[in-house]
Structure 1
């Protein structure tokens, strides 16, 4: 029955969930453009986290999948979202900077852009990439922005480079395998990155590490409530039940000691 309620709430969207505002909080989840799961599967992934948060707050937390970036931005701007956890880290970073949301945690390990090539490629490092054909995930995606920032910080002028965009990270492999690109950019936390040995590709450059999947809270929550949440999240990686909550999300632990400044620095690094 609990799962049915969560799925129904997601299907009806923010307006329906708002009807439960007096008895529950919303945890809005965004996995960016790379997620291939349907809403029910995403809800299943984060139900354990929502239950931990419910325990800390003494009030039910309902998982809501937010796929549209515009909806995510507007939800924070208008203050309709109680909690946000997002894989495109620039959104919760702006939530903290622009809409006064409070950082609860980031997720470990941090995020990186990986530049990859076929194993037989003669390219060895990022300096070899200049002038080559580069394929990144679709231009709107967080990782495309992330990889672009890494190239810029390494002296690349994007307007003069041969950059093309694939629909999703899995398609980056297709471009490389069919000799449509020399180099690809992917997320370190992606399924593609976890299978490079199997697909026959190697990493020639790992970007600067940046905060991954921040969890933020609406300004209305008190310092005591934020601390209660941090206390519950802080030791999940130390118990088997806690690890069972972290595993579906794809992280090793929550970093409750992360600072607002790390998110502000990310936005600056991204040129935002």
Structure 2
């Protein structure tokens, strides 16, 4: 009898867990290769945003960290992710273009590839970079693709340039400081970019601005819910609590305007 009761209790608990999961939304987060935070720190960073989204949607939003790009792609393809926010903007871009996700917002300021050199370097602009040793983040990274696209659009033939790939953006500085490279490419929103004055480097070229950190929603999210979400995100900078959420995310504001074509064009620009 006790065994039967235990089985019944376990079954009820499982059902309750499933019902709770169905009543929540998931927000999958990817900070790419430039974040440098562990999973617990990422969850803490995005909890404020999840609470704002939950208020707009009338359901709890749970933050889920995704480290592997393949997981991010597969999750959107299978439709198991309710919401996705990612610093590698090409993934949400494909979510919209290929997997029927809806663009909710992008983040300001836009993202750029910055070409940097040591302060004492004689290089002054992108034209001076041709033929020089270029250090970029790992080849699979979004910013490596981004910087490569910027070089290509400025007339560089990548197959003939001296391009090296560092494991992460911080390592790009190592290449420069140890004279292993003449110029480096980093993300404008990276920790490295925010500390260039301290590290003794300067920017010689800033790329074309592109949509940064898009937030996208599954097709099942209704138009009314999207509008409610946009309204809530768009007015965050009007309150102290909202400003704190933006500060925690490291952005100035959410851009809830019609940026879908810009996001689609980014994919074409990246090639």
Instruction: Give TM-score, length-normalised by structure 2.
Output: 0.92
Q: Say yes or no: does 1:63 pair with 2:88.
A: no
Residue 105 of structure 1: aligned partner: 105
Structure 1 residue 261: deviation in Å?
0.3
Residue 259 of structure 1: aligned partner: 259
SS in 2 for 1:117: strand
Q: Say yes or no: does 1:172 pair with 2:172.
A: yes
C-alpha separation in 2, matches of 1:262 and 1:201 = 31
Larger radius of gyration: 2
SS in 1 for 2:163: strand
C-alpha separation in 2, matches of 1:18 and 1:142 = 36
C-alpha separation in 2, matches of 1:129 and 1:20 = 55
Gaps of 5+ in 2: 1-16
Q: Say yes or no: does 1:53 pair with 2:50.
A: no
C-alpha separation in 2, matches of 1:22 and 1:168 = 37
Runs of at least 4 residues off by over 6 Å: none
Structure 1 residue 20: deviation in Å?
4.2
Residue 123 of structure 2: aligned partner: 123
Shift in alpha-carbon separation, 1:232–1:176, aligned structure 2, 3 A: same
1:153-172 aligned at under 5 Å gives the runs 153-172=153-172
Residue 238 of structure 1: aligned partner: 238
> CA offsets per residue over residues 173-195 of structure 1, 9 Å max, x none?
11000000000000000110011
> CA offsets per residue over residues 38-62 of structure 1, 9 Å max, x none?
1111000000000011001111100
Residue 137 of structure 1: aligned partner: 137
C-alpha separation in 2, matches of 1:147 and 1:19 = 45
SS in 1 for 2:265: helix
Structure 1 residue 248: deviation in Å?
1.5
8 Å Cα contact 2:35/2:190 also seen in 1 = no
Aligned pairs, number? 255
SS in 1 for 2:75: helix
1:203-214 aligned at under 5 Å gives the runs 203-214=203-214
Gaps of 5+ in 1: 1-16
8 Å Cα contact 2:50/2:63 also seen in 1 = yes
Shift in alpha-carbon separation, 1:20–1:130, aligned structure 2, 3 A: farther
> CA offsets per residue over residues 4-50 of structure 1, 9 Å max, x none?
xxxxxxxxxxxxx9774312000000000122111111000000000
C-alpha separation in 2, matches of 1:55 and 1:238 = 16
C-alpha separation in 2, matches of 1:36 and 1:191 = 9
SS in 2 for 1:22: helix
C-alpha separation in 2, matches of 1:20 and 1:85 = 23
SS in 2 for 1:173: helix
SS in 1 for 2:175: helix
C-alpha separation in 2, matches of 1:226 and 1:58 = 12
